[in-house]
Homo-oligomer: A and B are copies of this chain.
Amino acid sequence: MYQAAPNLSRTPSAYFDEEHSADVVNGRMGQDINPRLKQVMSVLVKHLHAAVKEIEPTHDEWFAAIRFLTETGQMCNEWRQEYILLSDILGVSMLVDAINHRRPSGATPNTILGPFYVENAPQYENGANICLDGKGEPLVVAGRVTDISGNPIPNAKLEVWQTNDDGFYDVQQKGIQPDSNLRGVFTSDAEGGYSFKSVKPRHYPIPSDGPVGKLLGAMGRHPNRAAHLHFIVTAPGYEPVITHIFTPDCPYLPGDAVFGVKSELIADFKKVDDIDAARAVGFEAPFWSVTWDFALAPTAKPQRTIA
């Protein structure tokens, strides 16, 4: 039953050592595995080991990291995705978005999707008001959807969502806000035009009562997102645009907690104090008005994936 060990087994180079640690780990991967997974894991292990060697964590620090990662997973539920939040505050979500949406000049840039998008929101005619709780400063949003040469795109689908004047999305306050408050789907007309009524958005904090919020605080950072409206604009033959428009007067523009602001997405929100203009849109004066056009790039080629 007992067999002499092969010579290999006592050769130090067969085993893990500090200097070659990443190569030893990556050398264990099989030959016939998914090549994309092999590439992804090789790169992750290389950078992970490089980071550990640069940090030189104590055992207690390593265990604090284990606890943090565990608690972050255990904070997640149907309505809370703490790992996306972690990705957001470390700039990874925006980086992945940037890598996947390098657009031609003139196209509307993407920004972060965020966790509060809901499919199948109510469909409205252009001009409808998506504010169902009557709170906040009234706003008219109007503009056009075009290609990057400025040609109108009719029948584009515009999905919009935002917080109410208390800084919460409808799905964060079920039973408190009306269902689908400040959320709707519009369709561009023959000239690419769209319009709707809403309220001026406000800055709000990302959920900060979990492990990610504690980390943010320990790093000396605030949890606030700059005030914005979310949009997804889609049309057949064009790359979907997932984006925001930002108000220019928000104090959190340069400090947005998830790095979602791009200077090209800061809009001109104009305060209108004219009774006739207000009457024309069905508001009382004063109200806010913003004109915003979306320029869509042609559909890109499909990408490789292991997901």
Q: Which residues of A contact B (CB under 8 A)?
A: 2-5, 8-12, 14-18, 21-22, 24-25, 28-34, 37-41, 43-64, 66, 69-74, 76, 81-84, 87, 90-100, 102, 218-221, 248-249, 253-255, 259-264, 266, 269, 271, 303-307
Contacts and interface: CB of A to CB of B under 8 A. Distances in A.
A74 to B, nearest CB: 5
Contacts of A28: 219, 221, 255
A99 B254 contact: no
A22 B249 contact: no
A304 B99 CA distance: 38
Protomer copies? 2
A47 B47 contact: yes
Q: Which label, helix, strand, loop or mixed, suits the secondary structure of the A interface?
A: helix
Contact of A219 (B30, B81, B219, B221): B30
Contacts of A66: 81, 83-84, 87
A20 B28 CA distance: 34
A229 B82 CA distance: 39
A267 to B, nearest CB: 11
Contacts of A29: 219-221
A102 to B, nearest CB: 8
B253 A9 contact: yes
Nearest to A91: B25
A98 B24 CA distance: 14
Given A49-B92, A61-B40, A91-B45, A56 B99 contact: yes
Nearest to A23: B91
B259 A15 contact: yes
A56 B253 CA distance: 27
A41 B219 contact: yes
Contact of A259 (B24, B82, B96): B24
Nearest to A25: B91
Given A18-B98, A64-B307, A66-B83, 5 more contacts: A16-B260, A16-B262, A21-B94, A70-B76, A74-B74
A304 to B, nearest CB: 7
